[in-house]
């Protein structure tokens, strides 16, 4: 009986080897998060002040944010830097995920998924940056402008963090639209021609989803929906290009 080398390409690994590899990858990802988290803890207050700037810059003179709970001044900045360390470590985390699943993929799958992982990370960061520099100032300017006379805007730091995290996640996910479109076409769920025919329905659906995942104001809904639809069109172009590449250079795997 021939002896099979477990390290040879395509060889099936025992379950224990998979579990050990998964543990190693998980610990590597955790170490990457801790490397970012520990230094940022010393600057947690400054980091929170940076993320609070879109609101604090618009507050009337003498007004400030408030903390309604005793431990909020410590816990809220710590929560922010903990989440931020995970987000910043995402390329390293995805690299560990890729290192674990790549050996089990076909060649044509590796050629597609690696760029998708990289582009999805960049698109998520782009969505967060768009939300911070464009959406939040517009939303807060609108909110403060419509406040009734005699009402002073004094937001709790915990409520503010929850609000901006919701906005960041909404925009980060919305900016993943091209990746979602490519995956739908690549898996054969829909075709590029079907997506082009469904543009009108997609536009309405995007506005409905934007109304659900964003705070109840028109400004944030529009600022989510419009870039999402433009990214949907970009996804169609990307999927069509990949389809042409696959037709030109088919992979027998």
**Over residues 193-202, mean pLDDT:** 83
Sequence-separated (6 or more) residues with CB below 8 Å from residue 139: 167, 215, 217, 219, 220, 223
Q: What is the pLDDT of residue 249?
A: 61
Domain-embedded: residue 3: no
- For residues 232 and 229, give the distance between their C-alpha atoms in angstroms, rounded to a whole number: 5
Of residues 112 and 168, the one with the higher pLDDT is 168
Cβ(181)–Cβ(238) below 8 Å = yes
Domain-embedded: residue 251: no
Residue whose structure tokens are 């190693």: 24
Question: Tokens for 221?
Answer: 């809904």
List pLDDT tens digits, range 72-119. Answer: 888 999 999 999 999 999 989 888 888 887 777 677 777 777 788 888
List pLDDT tens digits, range 37-69. Answer: 999 999 999 999 999 998 888 877 777 888 888
Q: How many helices (H) and strands (E) does the chain have?
A: 11, 0
With bands split at pLDDT 50, 70 and 90, how would you rate the model's confidence at 248? low
Domain-embedded: residue 229: yes
Cβ(204)–Cβ(74) below 8 Å = no
- For residues 134 and 150, give the distance between their C-alpha atoms in angstroms, rounded to a whole number: 28
Of residues 35 and 200, the one with the higher pLDDT is 35
- For residues 179 and 115, give the distance between their C-alpha atoms in angstroms, rounded to a whole number: 10
Question: The pTM is what?
Answer: 0.78
- For residues 113 and 181, give the distance between their C-alpha atoms in angstroms, rounded to a whole number: 13
Lowest mean pLDDT among 33-37, 57-61, 212-216: 212-216
Domain-embedded: residue 10: no
Rounded to the nearest 10 degrees, what angle do helices 157-174 and 44-56 cross at? 80
Q: Which of 189, 187, 185 is nearest to 232 (CA)?
A: 185
- Per cent of the chain over pLDDT 90 is 21
**Over residues 159-165, mean pLDDT:** 91
Domain that includes residue 46, residue range: 17-146+157-245
The answer on pLDDT for 252 being more than 90 is no
Domain-embedded: residue 51: yes
List pLDDT tens digits, range 2-11. Answer: 444 444 444 4
- Per cent of the chain over pLDDT 70 is 86
Domain-embedded: residue 112: yes
CA angle 37, 42, 48 (to 5 degrees): 80
Question: Tokens for 172?
Answer: 């980060």
Q: What is the pLDDT of residue 38?
A: 94
Q: What is the mean pLDDT of the chain?
A: 81
The answer on pLDDT for 199 being more than 90 is no
Question: Tokens for 230?
Answer: 């433009």
Q: What is the pLDDT of residue 1?
A: 38
Lowest mean pLDDT among 18-27, 66-75, 242-251: 242-251
Taking residue 34's Cβ as centre, other Cβ atoms within 10 Å add up to 12
Question: Tokens for 209?
Answer: 């989803």
Cβ(26)–Cβ(32) below 8 Å = no
Domain-embedded: residue 94: yes
Domain-embedded: residue 177: yes
Question: Tokens for 122?
Answer: 């960049």
Lowest mean pLDDT among 100-104, 124-128, 192-196, 246-250: 246-250
The answer on pLDDT for 201 being more than 80 is yes
The answer on pLDDT for 26 being more than 60 is yes
Domain count within the chain? 1
Integer angstrom CA distances of residue 208 from 14, 127, 176, 180, 234: 47, 19, 17, 17, 20
């Amino acid at each position: 009986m021939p002896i099979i080398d477990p390290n040879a390409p395509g060889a099936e690994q025992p379950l224990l080897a998979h579990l050990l590899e998964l543990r190693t990858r998980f610990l590597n990802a955790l170490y990457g998060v801790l490397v970012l988290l520990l230094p940022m803890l010393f600057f947690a207050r400054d980091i929170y002040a940076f993320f609070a700037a879109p609101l604090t810059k618009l507050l009337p003179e003498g007004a400030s944010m408030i903390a309604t709970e005793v431990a909020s001044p410590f816990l809220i900045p710590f929560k922010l830097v903990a989440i931020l360390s995970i987000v910043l470590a995402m390329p390293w985390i995805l690299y560990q995920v890729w290192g674990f699943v790549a050996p089990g993929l076909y060649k044509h799958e590796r050629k597609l998924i690696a760029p998708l992982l990289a582009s999805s990370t960049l698109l998520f960061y782009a969505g967060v940056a768009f939300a911070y520099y464009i959406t939040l100032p517009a939303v807060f300017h609108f909110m403060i402008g419509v406040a009734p006379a005699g009402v002073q805007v004094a937001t709790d730091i915990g409520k503010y963090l929850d609000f901006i995290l919701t906005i960041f996640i909404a925009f980060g996910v919305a900016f993943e639209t091209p990746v979602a479109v490519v995956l739908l076409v690549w898996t054969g769920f829909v075709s590029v021609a079907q997506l082009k025919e469904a543009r009108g329905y997609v536009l309405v659906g995007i506005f409905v989803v934007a109304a659900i995942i964003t705070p109840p104001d028109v400004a944030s809904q529009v600022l989510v929906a419009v870039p999402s639809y433009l990214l949907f069109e970009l996804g169609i172009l990307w999927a069509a290009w990949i389809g042409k590449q696959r037709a030109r250079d088919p992979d027998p795997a």
